[in-house]
Structure formats: C-alpha cells, structure tokens
Amino acid sequence: MLITYRILTILLWPWIFIFSLLIPGAKNFLKTRKEDKRRILSYPFAPKAQKVIWLHAASVGELDQCKALALVYKKKEPETFLLQSVFSDSVRDSSLEAFPADLKFRLPLDFPWSYDFILDKFSPQVLVCMAWDRWPNLLLAAKRRRIQTILASAVITPPKGFLKRKFYKAAFSLFDKILTSHSSGEEKFKELLGKNFIKTLGDSRFDSVIQKIETSQREFKRPKNYPFSPVFLLASTYEPCEKLLLPLLKEPSLKNTAFWIFPHKTDPARITQLESKIRSFTDDYTLYSHAEFDSISSRVILFDVLGILAHAYRAADFAYVGGALHNRVHNVLEPAYFGLPLLSGPRITHAPEAIELNHRGGLFIIRTKEEVLEILQLSSERREAIRFSNRQFVETGRGAAERIYEEIRR
C-alpha cells in the first residue's frame, strides 16, 4: 500500500505543477512553500549542535495542541531547538509567527523527495504529529534516518472499506508511538494496528485552552444595563448554521434572549451578507466594531473582529458551536471551560471531546429549531448540573502536554 502511495504521489507531481499555472490558489500554495524552503536553507544552524524536536500540525486546532507541548519544552528544555510546521492555509501567518518555536514553516507537499533538505539540515531526534495527521512519505523519510515518530493527542475515525482500512493501517503503523487523547481512541487504534505502542495520555489542546483563558488579562462582561437575558452565543457560524438559527429571532418565547453572533469568517463581504440576513428578521442589531460595546443595548450583536470569542463565552448562558451541520464541529473546549450548555450539529465524530461532552449530557445535537428551543428552555437546576459537568470534563484534561513530553523523553 505504501509503495502504491509513493508511486501515485510521483505521478501526481506534473499535474500539480500544471494546476499551479492555471489556478491562483494553487500557485500561491506552492509559492509559499518555495519561499519557506529558501528561508530554511539559509537559516544559520550548526548541525548536531543541539537537540532538535520537530512538531507538525495540520491546521489551527492541531497548532493549539502543538503550542501546549512547545511551551513545556521551552520551560523544561529551553536549549532544545523547536521546528514547527503546518499544512493548512487556514493557519494565519500571524499565528505561525507568534508560535513559541525557533523556526516555523509550511509543510511541503508529501512527495518522496520533499523533506530531505529539512532532515539533512536539522537532524531532528523526534517528529511529533498531532491528532490524525499522517504523511507517509514524511514518516518514511524520518524512519530512514532513525528519527522517532510520534502521533500525539491522537484520534481516529474507523476507516470504512477494505482499501481505506489497509491504507490507514499502513500509514499509522509508521509511528513508533501513538499517544491517544481518550481511551476510546486507544481501543480503536489497537483494533486497527494490534500490538503497536498505543497509550492514552490526553489531548494537549486542553492545556492550550486552559492556559489561554487563565493567563488572559482581558475581562469580558455584558454591556452595562444590558436589557436581555439569557445570552445565546453563536460561535463559528456558517450559512447552514444561520439558516437554522436566525429564524429563532421571530420566536415569541425568545423575545428576551440575546443573540451574539461570531461568524467563522469576518471579511467585509461575509459581514455584509450576514447583516442582510439579520435585517430580514430584526432591525435590533449592532455591529460590534461600530459602537462602544459597554453602551450596546441591541438584542443581536454581530461580532466582526477576531480575538474576542474565547473571552465572550464568559458572558454567555448558552453556546452553539458551528461547523457540524455541514462539515465538522469547531472548538467546544473553550465554552465547556465556562460550563455552558452546548449545541452542535451532528457531525462530531472526528472530535472525541465533543462526543464525550454529548455522552455526559452537556452537549446537545440539534437539527431543528424545535430542538434548539427545548434546550434554551432548560431549567436552572439542569443548567447548573451541566455547568459543573462540562467544567469538570475540561479539568480532567489538564496536564496532557506534560504527560506527552515525559513520554517522548523516555
């Protein structure tokens, strides 16, 4: 299976080159990696002069997992040189630049020859991937150099079909250690792989979320004399989310419920589009950037800036976390930290923390507005029980990054 994969990646290269000439997005994707290669090759580094750890994240969520582990290294081994790579373009350059590693870059496309210039220059002792990310050519290149390969905060959706299962087994078998985020993941990996080194140590993203909230100097409160209660916060919304939830603004039983909306994207075109949708249900709304927040009295507040969401949960009573009506759920740990009853679409199978919160009764799967209404009318006693349960769940994940660090050192 791995030989087939290697052959296919080689055959794909000419087509990818052609696409890069025709499609601007593909051209920029390759250009960024070409610039990173030049920067890496010119980086002043003495080979084998110090210990090197390479951390890799697929996207934003996995970068949070890497961040928690990187902070442990910076605390316990400040002399260790940290490489941090990401793959998805959803990771902003500013987020990557601010990451606590010595050298940050975009991962090359997974061809057999793609990583030699990195591995030859830095000779890392360990390669750590996060969650589910496995690039066979990268892992094979690392193993040829006897670099320890680890999948940390690991999760898996059991593969369906013979070929997919065979590929998963071949790819995940390339890891020397798989450190799962939850015991359910450990069972699934063992079922797939057998006797590989598989151990549950937790999800380091818990540490990133806790650290982000507890070290922040930002206080977030409702506007002074705000006339609405409760506050229903809609996080990381997409069009399917708004199609389901915005009609609730017309529900008589929710006339005193405020809606705070944080769309997944905040570019001007998206905000203009969302404003138009809101106006079709109510004129009682305010754009966050257009008013002094403490003086806002509107029932609907549309947040058109970044960096606020994690703190705004503190002032809410319920939280809907977007993505799972059409694709996959976003981060549920931040609102769970504040003990909020959570609402989500059904697509949560990739997120064991969302599954566990659902099993505990603190996250509700919704598909209809009637289901939403039922949750927003929970009794105060039920909400208090959920607050305690969700908060306790987040606490159980504290310290995962340090546990992963200790296992890597062994």
How far from each other are the two terminal CA atoms of the chain, in whole angstroms? 31
**Structure tokens given for 260:** 């705070």
Q: Which domains does the chain have, with CATH numbers?
A: 48-201 (3.40.50.11720), 231-397 (3.40.50.2000)
62 an active-site residue? yes
- Sheet of 300-302: strands edge to edge? 285-287, 300-302, 258-263, 231-237, 318-321, 342-344, 363-365
Determine how many CB atoms are found less than 10 A away from the CB of residue 308. Answer: 15
pTM (2 d.p.): 0.84
Q: Of all helices (H) and strands (E), which one includes residue 101? A: none
Please state, in angstroms and rounded to a whole number, the distance separating the CA atoms of residues 185 and 352: 8
Decide: residue 240, CB within 10 A, 0-12 exposed, 13-18 middle, 19+ buried: middle
- Contact indicator for 132, 159 with CB cutoff of 8 Å: no
218: left (phi over 0), alpha (psi -120 to 50) or beta: beta
How far, in Å, are 200, 247, 345 from residue 326 at the CA level? Answer: 30, 18, 8
410 residues of the chain, pLDDT tens digit each: 888 988 888 988 888 878 777 888 888 889 999 999 999 999 998 766 689 999 999 998 899 999 999 999 999 999 999 999 999 988 988 889 999 999 999 999 999 999 999 999 999 999 999 999 999 999 999 999 999 999 999 998 888 898 899 999 999 999 999 999 988 889 999 999 987 799 999 999 999 999 989 988 888 999 999 999 999 999 999 999 999 999 999 999 999 999 999 999 999 999 999 999 999 999 999 999 999 999 999 999 999 998 899 999 999 999 999 999 999 999 999 999 999 999 999 999 888 899 999 999 999 999 999 999 999 999 999 999 999 999 999 999 999 999 999 999 98
The one catalytic residue in 62, 242, 356, 402 is: 62
